Structure 1
């Protein structure tokens, strides 16, 4: 069974840019969940939708259609109010873009894989059934509350498959632990129990354990190397399920939960970077230079240049040829000819490196 990592990311420009620059290493393309946010507007209302469609097209071209999860959309979101719903709208947009780009050479894959909660209503399941009528596809079922999740699970999965008209297509399961700070034995035990039950019902290679440890807020400016508990938890669960492969999943370089709505207008954020290395992450941050209480012109770019200087000089730096993000980071060091002054740019570079890390490292070196 091949190792198949999964990365969950929010529908933001930095994340999409990282997908636009995936490396070309045969079948090593990761699986990707895109969690839709209200900021993704239908055509003519911003840049996020075109960037999402382009990222989805690139993934489909690689035979890895994106997994789309709409659970974060509010009822007032434009996509949620679309007559066909968010999934149908995106399925049409991505499929049309594939046809426009590749014509008869378009890959024989669906435009997207729907992600639904295990508690999905029959109305939600019927929406998935309509996608199946248009083009058969796999689906993913996401478990966020592990308490009692294994009880009557077989009946629930059979109901989902029947109402969603899954037929012979695969059903994947994602055990989502959300944000983790430590390896908690009780949480590991719940995840292990559910993973064993899912393996019995769905097969040996259809279950992924998803978790992330990136903090919601950043404090201090000292560079640090810290553990990634999501890797240790995954290893404990994977080792506890005999005869089956539990796939690894994480939230990349971002916190699992979207930030609360902030006050409109530009925000001042100190440049930062989360750089993934085997079993750990290097956390870096720089203060912005201020003049008379205000951020000095060009301060963000200058601070990130200083950060890039330190990273590229570290022995853990993978090298400018490792990924698009690493090449950009090397270019941002002093004299490299590039600058980066915005959060989406920092995220794009760090996520690009992270995606390459997951696809090029052996499971023992995650």
Structure 2
């Protein structure tokens, strides 16, 4: 019987995410299920790029990490049959190489070819499936949504005990939204808990939008509440007998464009501290990205720096190297590295908190 809470980060298949995953501590791999939500269209090579990143950031031999994959095709993209679905190609490629096992992700309204591809992938990888249900679709009648999910499982050839069901809340910002969503999620969990799923998780995101961050004063920490963690904590306290796993969008906004900034932004870092993020952005005063080293130096001397220091995560090791100016001939990295290090710290911190105090 699984006693510890599982962490399911929602990712977009970007290179810096794979860098963070490739450096997870072994103990963390058993407590995390990365879910990649890939937006597929004909104008972008989403699947080849995803597989290239997976190839270039191989996991350690014997890694316990599986990955859940959702390939969402816009309504304008016509899928003819399962072999033309992005999910089918990802599943087959992962089977052919030394890659993680794939858990296909479906929604109640997934088109028939995607359901067929998920059924095929589940049979090949033998890891079951995930189903994501949007909270707004459950508001009127949660039990009606359960019926839709059961119909989906019949089409996918799955039984509930092989299914990881995720209630997808979306963005949570502010106390009012938190209170409203808590009530709705409690009702949804009560309806869904009548079925014996492999796991039931609540997913939401609270990190601020880049537009909001752009206006922040520079060279000082800005605290932001992790309302996604607060939502999970409130729901689990109201339903102490329900076993809920935790899912979030990490240190990016749920609707953030799936790419690192194309221009050269000011050095920045989103650092997870308890149920807050401390966001630091430094204006440019030194050559290149050297102001990031100053940022790291001030972080490591602040109360935000964890007791375990660089042992907290691979990301913290890199941040300390930047603070000491010992990282690769003094290089401070760039936006992709800063996001990778922040994500590494966030993932390890969330799992460690879940293991230690039962809260993310």
Verify same fold: TM over 0.5. Answer: yes
Could you list the runs of 5+ residues in structure 1 that have no partner in the other structure? 100-109, 290-295
Contact 1:73 1:80 (8 Å CA) reproduced = no
1:355 aligns with 2:347: yes
The separation in 2 between residues aligned to 1:152 and 1:89, in whole angstroms, is: 33
Q: CA RMSD in A?
A: 3.0
Identify the match of residue 340 of structure 1 among 332, 339, 344: 332
Distance 2:231 2:77 in 1: 37
Provide the secondary structure at the position in 2 that maps to 1:148: coil
In 1, Cα distance between equivalents of 2:6 and 2:157: 25
Q: Distance in 2 between matches of 1:5 and 1:152?
A: 27
Among candidates 206, 227, 231, match of residue 229 of structure 2: 231
Q: Deviations over 1:88-147 (max 9, x none)?
A: 111111122228xxxxxxxxxx72111111222333322222223434331111122242
Aligned equivalents of 2:357, 2:114: Cα separation in 1? 35
* Number of the residue aligned with 1:140: 130
Q: Does 2:168 align with 1:180?
A: no
Q: Is the 8 A contact 1:216 1:259 kept in 2?
A: no
Matches within 5 A, 1:90-169: 90-98=90-98, 111-144=101-134, 145=136, 146-148=138-140, 150-167=142-159
Q: Is 1:303 aligned with 2:295? A: no
Match of 1:67 in 2: 68
CA distance in 2, matches of 1:197, 1:64: 30
| Distance (whole Å) between structure 1 residues aligned to residue 17 and residue 246 of structure 2 | 19
CA distance in structure 2 between the aligned counterparts of 1:288 and 1:312, rounded to whole angstroms: 20
Shift of residue 232, structure 1, vs aligned partner? 1.2
Aligned residues: 340
Q: TM-score, normalised by structure 2?
A: 0.84
How big is the shift at 1:248? 1.4
Q: Which residue of 1 aligns with 2:204?
A: 211
Distance 1:198 1:147 in 2: 13
What SS does the corresponding residue of 1:16 show, helix, strand or coil?
helix
SS for the counterpart of 1:172 is: strand
- CA distance in 2: counterparts of 1:159 and 1:225, whole angstroms: 44
Structure 1 range deviating more: 323-332 or 135-144: 135-144
Q: Distance in 2 between matches of 1:169 and 1:333?
A: 48
CA distance in 2, matches of 1:61, 1:196: 38
- SS state of the match for residue 278, structure 2? strand
Match of 1:19 in 2: 21
Cα deviation for residue 341 of structure 1 reads 3.8
- Summarize the Cα distance change of 1:22–1:206 in structure 2 as closer, same or farther, 3 Å threshold: same
Superposed CA deviations along residues 264-301 of structure 1, whole A, max 9, x for unmatched, are x9413111111111111111101124xxxxxx8x33x2
How far residue 306 of structure 1 moved from its aligned partner, in angstroms, is 1.2
User: Given the alignment of the two structures, is residue 252 of structure 1 paired with residue 244 of structure 2, yes or no?
Assistant: no
Deviations 1:161-206 (A, max 9, x none): 2110114751111111222112432221111111111111134x61
1:59 deviation in Å? 8.3
Contact 2:80 2:113 (C-alpha < 8 Å) held by counterparts: no
Matched-pair contact (CA < 8 Å) for 2:314–2:345: yes
Q: How far apart are the structure 2 equivalents of 1:232 and 1:303?
A: 33
Alignment match of 1:190 (pick from 184, 191, 201): 184
Q: 1:59 to 1:234 in 2, by over 3 A?
A: farther
Closer/same/farther in 2, CA of residues 42 and 251 from structure 1, 3 Å limit = closer
Gaps of 5+ in 2: none
What's 2:275 paired with?
A: 279
Classify 1:73/1:253 alpha carbon distance in 2 versus 1 (closer, same or farther; 3 Å). farther
Q: Which has the higher helix share?
A: 2
